Each structure stands twice: as C-alpha cells, then as structure tokens.
Structure 1
C-alpha cells in the first residue's frame, strides 16, 4: 500500500479504521470506528511515483512550457486489525 511520504525512521504506525467488514457484519465509522486499530509496518521509506507532466500552452504564439515532478511515497504493509 502506498501512502504519502512518512518521516524518516518510522518503522511502525497505527491508523484509525474508517470501515470494517467482517463476514456479514459491516461497521461504518462516523468518522472512525470506535475501538478498532490498524497496525502497519513500513516496508520501503521512499518510493517514487509515476512522472506527472504539466504543459502550459499559448495558442497562436508557438509558446509552451513543460513542468513535471515525481511524487514521493512510503510503502507500508498492514500487519493487524484489532477490535
């Protein structure tokens, strides 16, 4: 799972659950589900996403400018969901 870049040195993090589906039972949080914690471990600190290109163009002037960047992400793995 790719998330926005985390601080360097983060090994494990706890997330709030927004939705829990357990067989036929579904719990929807308003905004989070009470008493449910999700634990995740960081697999890779820095992963670069695909390049995003932005082009500005002025018609009839033969003028264009191209910018681009690659978003930085952290790769995490969900290890447990505790109720």
Structure 2
C-alpha cells in the first residue's frame, strides 16, 4: 500500500489512501480538494523514496471533511504573595481531511 509523509502547518503527517487525519487549520471549505506537495518521504509499497528535503513530483491529494476545535486546555498563571492570578483557556483549531491519493513522480 502506498504511503507518504508530508508537511503542513509546521507538523509532519503520515498519509495513506482512505485514512482520515487531523491537520492544523487550512483556509478552504469542507468538501473541497487540497494538494500537499511538501512530501518528505514516499513509498509505493516496494521502494521508499526519501527527499532532500522533498521528493520531487510527489503529491498527496485529500478532501476536506470538516473544521473543528480540539479539547480545551486551561492556563493558569500565579505569583505567590502578590495576589497575582490569571486564568484562561485555549482550543486549537484543526481541519479533518480524508486522503484520496498518494502519487509519486512517475504516476
């Protein structure tokens, strides 16, 4: 089975056709197609192609399923003896994508 490791949003992800993964928020509508060309490593099931730094001609195409927010994390700052207390929270936004195809340069 072909697979690839690609980079988007400062993180790296493993992609296989038919798999759904969460990536940092992308500026595209759900249902649209996106292409990732920053492929760091690609395999066709027989050979592995490593990039220097990217594999030329390799692409990962995916369809955007939905946008969402991750689990909330709580932030609390505290300084002793001064009465200084601050609290807040953060929910990281993400885009869920379904990998449609992994192409090497010869495909």
Please name the residue that 1:4 is paired with. Answer: 24
Q: Unaligned regions of 5+ residues in structure 2, if any? A: 1-20
Query: Alpha carbon RMSD of aligned pairs, Å?
Result: 1.7
TM-score by length of 2: 0.67
Q: Which moved more, 1:54-63 or 1:29-38?
A: 54-63
The higher relative CO (CA closer than 8 Å, separation ≥ 6) is in 1
**Residues 1-80 of structure 1: pairs in structure 2 closer than 5 A:** 1-9=21-29, 11-16=32-37, 17-44=39-66, 46-80=67-101
Q: Unaligned regions of 5+ residues in structure 1, if any? A: none
Determine which structure has more spread, i.e. the larger CA radius of gyration: 1
Matches of 1:9 and 1:24 in 2, distance apart?
35
Matches of 2:28 and 2:101 in 1, distance apart?
22
3-state SS of 1:56 partner: strand
Matches of 1:81 and 1:14 in 2, distance apart?
10
